[in-house]
Amino acid sequence: MLGTCGIGNGIGGLQDRAIPEELDSAPQLGQKKESAGWQSSVAQGLMVMLWDMPLRRPLAAANLVVSFLLILASSFLVLRKSTALWWITQALLANMVWTLGEAVAQCHQLWVQRARLARFVATTLPKGQSTMPSTQQMVLTYMAVLLALGLVRVSVYAWLLRRARSPEVSALLQS
């Protein structure tokens, strides 16, 4: 399941299109957005910046590879191949490394683009609203969220690795 989701995300990340259709409706710099507060402006600005990340396509290609490894390793488990434990271990470790790499790359992108985010949010604030937290505070909050989500995903892979290396799975493969 995780492998097929990763392949779908990898294919989506490899698209040549600069910004997905959902974000095309984002106001251009200098345009005011009447209906939403700074929170939606920040969310939309963050999505645009993460999509514009220079490492997006290489990370998407790596996602395809590690996700394919998960599918391959799980098929070896189903077929009860003698090398299945080695394959599943390598696939899960590769996915852990990729997940942490993606989270760090996204955090780096947000930190580097924090001034652009501040300009984007300032130009999209609704009329009459001038209060918003500092850009550094917003960026650090979103970086913490990205890292926390990355750690949750790594913990899922670690649990799967622990489960795959259990004596029950080894006994099943020996039979």
Q: In the chain, what are the domain boundaries?
A: 2-17+48-112+133-174
Measured CA to CA in angstroms, residue 157 lies from 26, 91, 95, 142 at distances of 35, 10, 7, 23
For the record, the structure tokens of 6 come out as 């990763």
Write the pLDDT tens digit of every residue in 77-116.
Answer: 888 888 889 999 999 999 999 999 999 999 999 888 888 8
Q: What digits encode the pLDDT tens for the residues 138-166?
A: 888 888 999 999 999 999 999 989 988 88
For helices 114-124 and 38-51, the axis angle rounded to 10 degrees is 140
